[in-house]
Amino acid sequence: MIVKPSTKADECAAISAFIGTPDFDRLPERARKSAFARRRGLEGERSTAHILDRFFHDATNHALLHDLRLPDGIGGFAQFDHVILSRLSKTAAVVEVKNYRGRLSKNEHDEWLVWYEGRRRPIDIPNPLAQARRQKEVLRAWLKANHHDLAFDTIGAFVIIPPDCSIDRSKVRADVPIYKADNFIAAWTPFGGITPLGRLFSTGVSAKTLQTIARQLAGDHQLDRRSLDEMIGVRPDTARSEAEQKVAATEVVDHTLHAGVGRTAAEGEDGIVESEVPASPLGIVSEPEPAPALMPVANDPEPAPVIVAGKALDKVEIVPGIYERTLPDGRVAFLAGKDDGAGDRLKLACQGIAHWNPRFRNWLTDGARASTIRETLLTIHREQAEAAHGAG
């Protein structure tokens, strides 16, 4: 099952749109090359996500998450291209995509390189497995901190390269987990799959628990709010006219409206300076006209909500102790009362598909995802009621 969908299609569309504008032509050559390289990388990740989605979309024994970003414990973040959680084999796979175009090789000193057609000398590259291994340790720490390390006691790191890139297997042994994208599933299966006999004796978690853990992992994802300017290393004033910079300095509303707190952002020479503005109890703020960003990046799969004037509907009790209300912008807020365990039940249902609003202690989501949360809450309530009836 796909728990966190890929966002790379939106990011590819955003950067491709910018590359076709006059602003792009005014960038330094170094910045243009960086933008093209980033688009190639995104296209590789999107292609791999498509392969994984086709295989795992209805695989209830596995949970697939794309584009996951977690704190690394030392002040930074680990960016995971793909994570696969497998309940029966009790494994977690970290999959890193490298969009090389030539022939991948290495020497006797474990120094990695890529040979490109038409070049007399190879290009030195960092060890492609090193990043995946670092990510593996971040995931291991997350699992342990959340008491899921017994559910997934084996973690593997894999690297995927494009089908048109070759691997010099005389230098890169077959046991090194680097595979072409179209061969990855066959290579992963001995690690994360399980035989029919093994299925009978598996001590893995239930499918429902797998889904809960995967949603919790997705819920801890941290958005990367850098602009494309920052990602390709361009100062905003190198790509805009003076008039455009004045427009860009206008305050704009940031996507953190999802969290129920309004933020305005003013762009100056040192980048983005953010300041909080108070939100109403419903998460509504007075919104100035947004200035067009030079190079937007679709980091959040959900678009920023359109805030409209009006009143929220009265709250409705879904199950004992848990309520919902529809906000004027169409989003749905879920909140727990003071009943014992209501908050935990609501958190279990909302993690990964709703945004926690700490200011007003509610969960915010759109109308489509709200139905999934309602069904989960009703299922939990029904199971608890049946268990209590059986005990009685």
The crossing angle, in degrees rounded to 10, of helices 184-192 and 29-56 is: 60
Report the candidate in 158, 159, 150, 155 with the shortest Cα–Cα distance to residue 139: 155
- List, for residues 19-65, the tens digit of each pLDDT value: 888 888 888 888 888 888 888 888 878 888 888 999 998 899 999 99
Q: What is the mean pLDDT of the chain?
A: 76
CATH for 316-391 is 3.30.70
Instruction: State the DSSP code for 99.
Output: -
Mean pLDDT for 253-281 is 31
CA 54, distance to chain mean position in Å, is: 18
* pLDDT computed for residue 391 by the predictor: 64
244 in Cβ contact with 31 (< 8 Å): no
What pLDDT band is residue 389 in, cutting at 50, 70 and 90?
A: confident
Give residue limits of the domains in the chain.
59-219, 316-391
Three-state DSSP at 70 gives strand
The phi and psi torsions of 252 (rounded to 5 degrees) equal -130, 155
Helical H segments across the chain, by residue range: 8-19, 22-25, 29-56, 128-145, 184-192, 196-200, 207-219, 228-231, 242-248, 342-350, 367-391
- List, for residues 331-380, the tens digit of each pLDDT value: 889 999 887 788 888 988 888 888 888 878 899 988 778 888 888 888 88
- Say what the pTM is: 0.59
Three-state DSSP at 217 gives helix
